[in-house]
């Protein structure tokens, strides 16, 4: 029996280069698909503060639906992630500088949607008032009223023991067109629309600043689950005049 001729070195090298090319193409396509999904469909964020406890706690990872609200609009009760409309993040602690290599790796991970380095530049709150709504706090029972209808929020608010007031800061606002009135669930530890009424925006957040609706907690595993909008609590609110 004679030995089969060996494969020429040049052919083996060419085959290896073709393999590397195919792997690179797959990686690039996967990265581009991830980027498109992150930019237009679903995006990941982590929670940097306690303003939404108990619904969301510090370092929770959440998924945000960017696509659906573009077709269905937002509802009262939705938990939304939004970009600072100006002045909301002033005075917040800055992220310390990191080595260039760490920054580069994190940029790549953020590009494909695995990391969420810009979470510190965004905020998360609950939609209470939609355009045209007359939102007042509080009635004799400590409830917020929207267009005259009281809202019982005790099922999701994080209040001190014995406190049943939805807000210890009174307000009486009419939400302008194209904006929303947003509050945190941890009312006594949330710098939300109430705390920014002196700004030119009046504390309202333009719809265009909203990234999307938070719908799922993905990490840690023991907290994985859907994020409840408690929309049924707002069913009795009449339309804005």
Determine which one of 38, 44, 49, 51 is catalytic.
51
Domain that holds residue 208: 42-234
pLDDT at residue 214 greater than cutoff 80: yes
How would residue 68 be classed by pLDDT, with cut points 50, 70 and 90?
confident
- Summary mean pLDDT of the chain: 84
Tokens in use for 30? 């996967």
Choosing from 44, 49, 125, 167, which is the catalytic residue? 125
The pLDDT, as a whole number, for residue 179 is 97
State the pairing for strand pair 122-129/61-65: unpaired
Beta strands of 77-220 (E only): which ranges?
Answer: 79-83, 122-129, 134-137, 144-146, 149-151, 171-174, 179-183, 205-206, 210-219
Q: Are 38 and 116 in contact (CB under 8 A)?
A: no
- Is 3 inside any structural domain? no
CA dist., res. 115 & res. 211, Å (int): 16
Taking only the tens place, the pLDDT of each residue in 150-193 is 999 999 999 998 899 999 999 999 999 999 999 999 999 999 99
Give the pLDDT confidence of 121-138 residue by residue, as tens digits: 899 999 999 999 999 999
b/e map of 90-107 (b: 16 or more CB within 10 Å)? eeeeeeeeeeeeeeeeee
- Give the separation between CA 146 and CA 239, rounded to whole angstroms: 9
Per-residue pLDDT, 216: 94
173 or 17, greater pLDDT: 173
> Which residues does 91 contact at the CB level (< 8 Å), separation at least 6?
none
Domains identified in the chain, total number: 2
Do 185 and 119 have their domain in common?
yes
The span from the CA of 112 to the CA of 32, in Å, is 7
- Mean local confidence (pLDDT), 7-17: 69
Of residues 171 and 116, more confidently modeled: 171
pLDDT-based confidence at residue 104 (cuts at 50, 70, 90): low
**What is the pLDDT, as a whole number, of residue 37?**
52
Q: Residue 51 catalytic?
A: yes
Closest CA to 185 of 51, 57, 89: 51
Q: How much is the pLDDT for 27?
A: 66
CA–CA gap between residue 71 and residue 116 (Å, rounded): 25
Looking at the structure, do residues 95 and 55 belong to the same domain, yes or no?
yes
* Domain co-membership, 15 together with 83: no
Domain assignment present for 2 = no
How far apart CA 63 and CA 74 sit, in angstroms, is 16
Band of residue 207 on the pLDDT scale cut at 50, 70, 90:
very high
Q: What is the 3-state secondary structure (H, E, C) of 62-129?
A: EEEECCCHHHHCCCCCCEEEEECCCCCCCCCCCCCCCCHHHHHHHHHHHHCCCCCHHHHHEEEEEEEE
Residue 98: band (very low, low, confident or very high) from pLDDT cuts 50, 70, 90: very low
Q: Can 167 be counted among the known catalytic residues? A: no
Share of the chain above pLDDT 70, in %: 77
**Residue of 172 and 107 predicted with greater confidence:** 172
- Are 92 and 54 in a shared domain? yes
Say if residue 164 is in the same domain as residue 177. yes
Q: What is the pLDDT of residues 39-61, one digit of tens each?
A: 557 888 889 899 999 999 998 99
pLDDT: which is higher, 13 or 164: 164
Position 97 in a domain: yes
71, part of any domain: yes
- Shared domain for 212 and 194, answered yes or no, is yes
Distance CA 87, CA 19 (A): 52
Q: What pLDDT, on the 0 to 100 scale, is given for residue 108? A: 52
Work out the pLDDT band at 118, boundaries 50, 70, 90.
low
């Amino acid at each position: 029996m004679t030995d089969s001729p060996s494969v020429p070195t040049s052919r083996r090298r060419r085959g290896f280069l073709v393999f590397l090319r195919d792997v690179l193409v797959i990686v690039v396509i996967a990265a581009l698909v991830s980027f498109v999904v992150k930019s237009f469909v679903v995006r990941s964020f982590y929670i940097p503060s306690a303003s939404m406890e108990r619904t969301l706690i510090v370092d929770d990872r959440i998924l945000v639906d960017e696509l659906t609200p573009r077709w269905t609009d937002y509802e009262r009760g939705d938990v939304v992630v939004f970009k600072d409309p100006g002045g909301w993040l002033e005075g917040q602690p800055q992220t310390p500088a990191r080595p260039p290599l760490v920054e580069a790796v994190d940029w790549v991970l953020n590009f494909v949607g695995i990391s969420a380095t810009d979470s510190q530049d965004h905020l998360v709150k609950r939609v209470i008032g939609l355009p045209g709504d007359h939102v007042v706090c509080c009635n004799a029972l400590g409830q917020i009223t929207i267009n005259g209808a009281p809202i019982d929020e005790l099922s999701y608010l994080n209040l001190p023991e014995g406190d049943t007031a939805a807000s210890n800061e009174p307000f009486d606002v009419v939400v302008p067109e194209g904006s929303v009135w947003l509050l945190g669930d941890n009312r006594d530890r949330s710098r939300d629309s109430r705390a920014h009424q002196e700004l030119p925006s009046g504390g309202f957040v333009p719809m265009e600043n909203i990234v999307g609706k938070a719908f799922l907690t993905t990490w840690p595993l023991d907290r994985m689950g859907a994020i409840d909008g408690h929309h049924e609590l707002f069913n009795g609110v009449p339309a804005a005049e």
